Amino acid sequence: MTLHSLRWMDTWFNVLAPMFNLHLKTTGVTEPWRVRKPGVDGIIIRYEDFDDRHPLGSAKE
């Protein structure tokens, strides 16, 4: 996947692509993780974000 636009807007980090959008409010993230898991077609890489209580969301590479 090619990312066409990476933009900061105040405390938000935005990733914009034709088939994918991510809007992450960075002030709420206390623990970002890059997670590698086995998948049917090989390794799947996910990015998971946590605040001090629970998961905030995730994105797959």
| Mean of per-residue pLDDT scores for the chain | 81
6, β-bridge pairs: 15
Question: Which pTM was predicted?
Answer: 0.56
User: What was the pLDDT predicted at 15?
Assistant: 87
Higher pLDDT, 61 or 48: 48
What is the C-alpha to C-alpha distance for residues 8 and 15, in angstroms, rounded to an integer? 9
Average the pLDDT over 1-8 and give the result.
78
Report which residue type is found at 8: W
User: What was the pLDDT predicted at 27?
Assistant: 86
Query: Model confidence over 11-36: pLDDT tens digits?
Result: 998 988 887 788 888 887 888 888 89
Torsion over CA of 47, 35, 4 and 42, rounded to 10 degrees? Answer: -140
